[in-house]
Structure 1
Amino acid sequence: MRTAYPSEEEVTTAGPLQPDVSYGLFARERIVAERGFNRWLIPPCALAIHLCIGMAYGFSVFWLPLSQALGIAAPLACPEEMSLLGRLFTTQCDWKIADLGWMYTLFFVLLGSSAALFGGWLEKAGPRKAGVIAALCWCGGLVVSALGIKLHQLWLLWLGSGVIGGIGLGLGYISPVSTLIKWFPDRRGMATGMAIMGFGGGAMIGSPLAALLMAHFRTSASVGVLETFLVMAGIYFVFMMVGAFGYRVPPSGWQPAGWQSPAGTKRMITNGHVHLSEAHKTPQFWLIWAVLCLNVSAGIGVIGMASPMLQEIFGGNLIHRPDLGFAALDPVQRGAIAGIAAGFAALLSLFNIGGRFFWSTLSDKIGRKTAYLVFFLLGIILYAAAPTFAHMGSRTLFVGALCIIVSMYGGGFALAPAYLADMFGTQFVGAIHGRLLTAWSTAGIIGPVVVNYIREINKAAGVPDDRLYDVTLYVLAGFLVLGLLCNALIKPVAEHRFMDVGTGPGAHETSVAGDLSHGIGRGGLTPTAALAWMLVILPLLWGVAKTLESAIRLFQ
């Protein structure tokens, strides 16, 4: 059934739209937008949260300092016979980087699982409460990790940043999705792209900031990570709380002035709403799940091996010594190309972020299904051509191909919430998106395992360094062929899956009539909106500048 809106007379007698202060400070009903609210204040709130939790991508900046937290100048090695359980509790020797890396794994396992578990609750509780809890978990996790450094207990780092912080990641990641889609039904892709771009950009800001803070706090008795965790926890908490308290939800039935829903067009956009309990029973959910999983598996495999891939394929070419393969380089030369490869990784991060906004915005014009069609067709061509570019010795073509591939990896994340809203409606899209993120967790295992496993087989078989990744790239192209087929099978959701009127979260909130906007959502770039945008854009621009400093070395 389709939503029925109240008459103009019913709205007029209902009185002015304003928050109901009888509800608690964090209640969803408390944050229903008033007349005159500017919807362009919502994306900066989402960015404020995503730019903070996005530091999860940049946590590797802490591994080396933490691996010598006791030795300071060099790691104080544990006995070889010490078990993992012993290393979790020891205070006598330094942690291994491999053991610290489990925090990174926990981040994304907990992100996907907590998003899936708490997505339904978020739709009822609203984005403010979810944002506040995300801030408490993410920043509280950093504080617990700081305590772990103080007591030299690895299990506290796993619990703090890994588990507690991972839950904060999941809640923070999905907290703005449903709200943004409801505020921007006319620009769903662009709105979610702006927020999810922030998650990709968080490491661009956080990594150089962490490096500066560790350098400032480093002494003969400390590597500076403990103090850095506490400072960053404080900064992040302020930004995330401002973002959470800035959230507002539109009244039920609201839409932008003069906008007409494109439901029923060839872009498969519905006006109905599928309940959370029904969405995962549809073939459309699992086809979109497969589309996201395959796209991410291919992209994350490249990102995870970007630095060694460039070094092993091009070897001495990177330092103008084409006569030298990777194996023939001396330690000084390997150090030089490692720095250049770091610039390549930085460049990929820029395309990852830019792709989230570019492709999601373009999808508002061409449709989500068509955008994924472009991803897969173009991706198949580029993955298949990349080995040829490498054999030609063309660093520019190889790097360009991978940059475009990674832009589509990021774009796939940004398109997913809008694709779900098109197919299942907006009332439960945040919760449905939370469940879809299990595809990310799955891809995070598949992609790196495939890339690493094939590389090791080739290495053992004596394949030359500059051809180690040929088969890998062809296999990843095969992933995209499967994704192309899954995307082609997606059709509109069957009519019987949609809910009856008035059964979703927010259905009891005051509805509006007339042009269905009633003066809400207008305003554009007002002084208040400009200030809100400046507070998130300036740190992001600083991060971009720092990243470009590193990336420019690739072409020197």
Structure 2
Amino acid sequence: MRKLENKWIRAVIPALFIHCSIGTVYCWSLFKNDIASYIGKPIGEVEWAFSLAIFVLGMSAAFGGRFVEKDIQKSSQLAALFFVVGMAGTGFFIYQKSLIGIYISYGIVMGIGLGIGYLTPVKTLMLWFGKQKGLATGFAVAGFGLAKVIASPLMESLLGARNNDGNLVNATNIYTMFYLLAGIYLVMMLIGHLLLKKPAGYEEESVQSTSFSYRKVLTNKTFIGIWLMFYINITCGLALISQEKGILAFIGFGAIGLVSSLTAVFNAGGRILFSSWGDRLQDRNSIYKIIFISSITALLLTVVLDGINNSSAILIILLLCVVNAGYGGGFSSLPPLLADRFSLNSISTVHGLALSAWAFAGLTGNQLSAFILEKTQSYDMMLYVIMAFFMIASLISQFVVKPDPVNLESEEMVANEVIVK
């Protein structure tokens, strides 16, 4: 049994099982039109189920951090329960043609499972990997990003053939798919739950201690700065990623599916690359500076060459890949940065609070680009606005996020950290 007590079996593999399951929330675009068609509702109304799921993800992580801090076994079990029930419930309410039911099951119930599940393996990974915290979180969050690449072919197979209009030949496949996926992800998340374990010798501090101050975190300038630059990175990423298909169609590029897979790989690869790169830097905040500068550079190259219409397809695909990589890297670099600033002792709680930025970005990212395009009919204007936001984020990273660690707890509450080799 001692062979099973290592960082790969007890941290990386279970984290991947959990995150590769919940990360399928990003497969929404594959079946949202089929749901709208089956239940007879406008796609715009159905779209809110996804926005609600991302919002609840962020807020459940924000409020569930203390619960995760207490017991990762209970939190991983609860995450599996909510996610699977939400998945199966979505299939049931599609069958019932109930949009409100879909909002509740996919948006709220599954959203809670997403938030708790996303948070659960993070601290355990950082404990097992010691000084390689960025690499550790990169593995898990890469699983979240890769889920779309892995699950998309399975979902397309379960949905079955389509007619010339793009509609499903067998419309009932849309709800039976959710039932089958619920069973698959139940097994995967239970395996993750059973394997996940903190390293021997780590004694959890009493998370019920009143020494931790939410007020001190939420009013701290460094935390506010990290929250804002994280929010901007997600908002800008979603604003561009949501228009990926439209941009490629606008320039007449046909292999949209190939580019979608390529950008998904960059999204996942950026999660490992940037966070593990941060392990080698004196200040992990430098990673965010690199992400913002690289995104600004790619955007600037595109607009300088007379915008989307006159830029080459290669340059536009490069832009999409760079922003996707930075988008993913922003997620994986967040936990180790917070651990450096606020200690590992309460990282699940502080990380959860920071993930509330994801909740609000989920409501504003897609809408930002849609609003700009509606008002200006210009992809170039959208790029200018995104670039301006990235510039603001880089200034926040430079001048607001200070390099010094923040003491949020009393002197007697010292983090009991172990480094497992």
What is the TM-score of this pair, normalised by structure 1?
0.68
Q: Aligned pair in 2 of structure 1 residues 449, 147: CA closer, same or farther (>3 Å)?
A: closer
Please give the alpha-carbon distance, in whole angstroms, between the structure 2 residues aligned to 1:186 and 1:417.
13
Of the candidates 108, 114, 121, which is equivalent to residue 163 of structure 1? 108
Deviation track 1:221-268 (CA, whole Å, cap 9, x = no partner) reads 7431222111110110000010011111135668xxxxxxxxxxxxxx
2:122 corresponds to which residue?
177
Greater Cα offset, 377-386 or 489-498: 489-498
Please give the alpha-carbon distance, in whole angstroms, between the structure 1 residues aligned to 2:376 and 2:86.
40
1:181 shift after superposition: 1.4
* 1:299 pairs with 2:209: no
Conserved 8 A contact 2:22-2:114: yes
Conserved 8 A contact 1:308-1:341: no
1:475 corresponds to which residue?
385
Matches within 5 A, 1:66-465: 66-69=35-38, 94-124=40-70, 126-215=71-160, 222-251=171-200, 275=212, 277=214, 278-312=216-250, 314-315=251-252, 318=253, 337=254, 340-366=255-281, 367-389=283-305, 390=308, 392-459=310-377
Greater Cα offset, 233-242 or 153-162: 153-162
Please give the alpha-carbon distance, in whole angstroms, between the structure 2 residues aligned to 1:495 and 1:58.
38
1:363 shift after superposition: 1.1
2:206 corresponds to which residue?
none
Q: Aligned pair in 2 of structure 1 residues 425, 159: CA closer, same or farther (>3 Å)?
A: same
1:496 shift after superposition: 5.2
Matches within 5 A, 1:544-555: none
Same amino acid, percent of matched pairs: 29
Greater Cα offset, 436-445 or 160-169: 436-445
Amino acid at match of 2:320: L
Amino acid at match of 1:500: E
Q: Aligned pair in 2 of structure 1 residues 220, 59: CA closer, same or farther (>3 Å)?
A: closer
Please give the alpha-carbon distance, in whole angstroms, between the structure 2 residues aligned to 1:386 and 1:293.
24
Conserved 8 A contact 2:342-2:407: no
Conserved 8 A contact 1:307-1:341: yes
1:216 shift after superposition: 8.1
Q: Aligned pair in 2 of structure 1 residues 429, 495: CA closer, same or farther (>3 Å)?
A: closer
Query: 3-state DSSP class of the match of 2:37?
Result: coil
Please give the alpha-carbon distance, in whole angstroms, between the structure 2 residues aligned to 1:402 and 1:150.
37
1:165 shift after superposition: 0.4
1:543 corresponds to which residue?
none
Deviation track 1:143-192 (CA, whole Å, cap 9, x = no partner) reads 21222133332222221121100100000111111111122221111100
Please give the alpha-carbon distance, in whole angstroms, between the structure 2 residues aligned to 1:219 and 1:296.
33
Q: What is the aligned length?
A: 404
Q: Aligned pair in 2 of structure 1 residues 243, 166: CA closer, same or farther (>3 Å)?
A: same
Amino acid at match of 1:371: I
Conserved 8 A contact 2:342-2:405: no
Q: Whose Rg is larger? A: 1
Please give the alpha-carbon distance, in whole angstroms, between the structure 1 residues aligned to 2:75 and 2:43.
33
Please give the alpha-carbon distance, in whole angstroms, between the structure 2 residues aligned to 1:276 and 1:237.
36
- CA RMSD for the aligned pairs? 2.6
Greater Cα offset, 281-290 or 36-45: 36-45
Greater Cα offset, 438-447 or 103-112: 438-447
1:333 corresponds to which residue?
none
Q: Aligned pair in 2 of structure 1 residues 454, 146: CA closer, same or farther (>3 Å)?
A: closer
Q: Aligned pair in 2 of structure 1 residues 193, 221: CA closer, same or farther (>3 Å)?
A: closer
Please give the alpha-carbon distance, in whole angstroms, between the structure 2 residues aligned to 1:373 and 1:239.
36
1:61 corresponds to which residue?
30
Conserved 8 A contact 1:358-1:411: yes
Conserved 8 A contact 2:241-2:320: no
Deviation track 1:291-322 (CA, whole Å, cap 9, x = no partner) reads 1111222211110111112222x13xx3xxxx
Conserved 8 A contact 1:200-1:349: yes
Conserved 8 A contact 2:161-2:169: no
Please give the alpha-carbon distance, in whole angstroms, between the structure 1 residues aligned to 2:94 and 2:105.
11
* 1:499 pairs with 2:410: yes
Amino acid at match of 1:96: P
Conserved 8 A contact 1:135-1:241: yes
Deviation track 1:518-550 (CA, whole Å, cap 9, x = no partner) reads xxx45xxxxxxxxxxxxxxxxxxxxxxxxxxxx
Higher share of residues assigned helix = 2
Query: 3-state DSSP class of the match of 1:500?
Result: coil
Query: 3-state DSSP class of the match of 1:67?
Result: helix
Gaps of 5+ in 1: 1-32, 70-92, 255-273, 319-336, 460-467, 523-556
Q: Aligned pair in 2 of structure 1 residues 476, 220: CA closer, same or farther (>3 Å)?
A: closer
Query: 3-state DSSP class of the match of 1:501?
Result: coil
Please give the alpha-carbon distance, in whole angstroms, between the structure 2 residues aligned to 1:251 and 1:35.
13
Deviation track 1:50-88 (CA, whole Å, cap 9, x = no partner) reads 00111100022222332333xxxxxxxxxxxxxxxxxxx
Conserved 8 A contact 1:294-1:443: yes
Please give the alpha-carbon distance, in whole angstroms, between the structure 2 residues aligned to 1:186 and 1:47.
20
1:121 shift after superposition: 1.4
Q: Aligned pair in 2 of structure 1 residues 502, 303: CA closer, same or farther (>3 Å)?
A: same
1:503 shift after superposition: 6.7
